[in-house]
Amino acid sequence: MPKTLLAIETSCDETSAAVLVGTADGATLRSCVILSQDVHRIFGGVVPELASRAHLTTIGPVVDQALAEAGISLEEVEAIAVTAGPGLVGALLVGLMYGKTLAFRLAVPLIGVHHLEGHLFAAPLEQPDLGPPFVALLVSGGHTLLLDVPAWGEYRLLGTTRDDAAGEAFDKVGTLLGLEYPAGAMIERLALTGTAGRFSFPRPMLNTLSDDGPDRFAFSFSGLKTALLRAVRASDDLERDRADLARGFQDAAVAVLAAKVAAARELLGYPTVVLAGGVACNTALRNAVEAAVGSEVRVAVASNRLNTDNAAMIGAAGLFHLQRGEQHGLDLQPDAGLPFPGLVTAFPLPSLTR
């Protein structure tokens, strides 16, 4: 039965609320409000205490705006979905307490959602025919996961990063290049004007694709970051070299991501690849994955607005769990290390062959 659900997301530095109407099999996004915190640019990264205080100030108006844009009153909400983790504990606490208060006041179900699972539900909001099985690359500022998704709620980890997440690497490289935080979009714009091949950086862990062990689909970006640092230090004119350095870094990072996605897709034989998370906004990554998997494979990506942290994806995941009869009590607590629901490690890899 269709439900009107209010979703809240405050895991990091975006305060977001959304209203969805429908079921897990077909939800209509009625509104989605996202308020980003620009104060962190001054510090070159997210300051947890400032993020929490900003959420406290804005959560009420953001929820009110989402309800207004959806054209409903608070009393018409039939369920509340809120990010329970992972993320910054203080930031999570603000959204979770607000959501629990509303759920108690309205006497409606409360669903705590895993932030990363939410990212997987972003693209289906805009592409209703999209569903498992598929290979998913979830790339954000804090996470890099390559997943086998045979069904919703069933996730097998093929590989993750050994050190920096992809988005974290982009931001750190941006700092080395003298760019403002967050640097991902600026690196992409710079790379468009850079000369390909002028700076050739290593493709970390690309050679492990021929292995059958746990490193086959693993990632590492620390060595690539160090290689760029050395190139920056060796430059006698960073202003001249900045765009070429950005191009060299992006080409190397994207090449590894695309190659591992394509190999996993070939191994599993799935017809679809899903890219999710903030780094999925990178056009070069999308193009590289499409080229690597071939034209017969569907590459599904949400719009940039729904790839970044937002409440719409939390609401879509919340509807899925609600439809399965799952909900949480008012004792639900934020968890910075919340385990990914339904996630198992997919080793040994040969067992994955279809």
- pTM, rounded to two decimals: 0.93
Residue among 23, 10, 47 nearest 334 (CA):
10
Please tell me the predicted confidence (pLDDT) of residue 351. Answer: 45
Do the domains 131-304+345-352 and 3-121+307-343 match in fold? yes
Tell me 315's DSSP state: H
d(CA 196, CA 192): 9
Domain boundaries, the chain: 3-121+307-343, 131-304+345-352
d(CA 171, CA 183): 5
Please tell me the predicted confidence (pLDDT) of residue 354. Answer: 38
Determine the 3-state secondary structure of 277 from DSSP. Answer: coil
Percent pLDDT > 70 in the chain is 96
Please tell me the predicted confidence (pLDDT) of residue 128. Answer: 93
59-82 average pLDDT score: 98
Please tell me the predicted confidence (pLDDT) of residue 348. Answer: 61
List pLDDT tens digits, range 255-288: 999 999 999 999 999 999 999 999 999 999 999 9
The helix or strand, by DSSP H or E, that contains position 136, with its residue range, turns out to be: strand 134-139
The helix or strand, by DSSP H or E, that contains position 193, with its residue range, turns out to be: helix 184-193
Q: Model confidence at 43, in pLDDT bands (50, 70, 90)?
A: low
- Residue 346 or 140, more confident: 140
Q: Model confidence at 40, in pLDDT bands (50, 70, 90)?
A: low
CATH 1.10.287.4070 fits 3-121+307-343, yes or no: no
The DSSP annotation for 72-88 comes to --GGG--EEEEEEESS-
Please tell me the predicted confidence (pLDDT) of residue 346. Answer: 66
List pLDDT tens digits, range 169-195: 999 999 999 998 888 899 999 999 999
d(CA 248, CA 198): 7
Please tell me the predicted confidence (pLDDT) of residue 39. Answer: 63
Please tell me the predicted confidence (pLDDT) of residue 24. Answer: 78
293-302 average pLDDT score: 97
d(CA 203, CA 205): 7
5 with 31: CB under 8 angstroms? no
Please tell me the predicted confidence (pLDDT) of residue 48. Answer: 77
Percent pLDDT > 90 in the chain is 83
315-327 average pLDDT score: 96
In CATH, what class is 131-304+345-352? alpha beta
123 with 318: CB under 8 angstroms? no
The DSSP annotation for 89-123 comes to HHHHHHHHHHHHHHHHHHT--EEEEEHHHHHHTHH
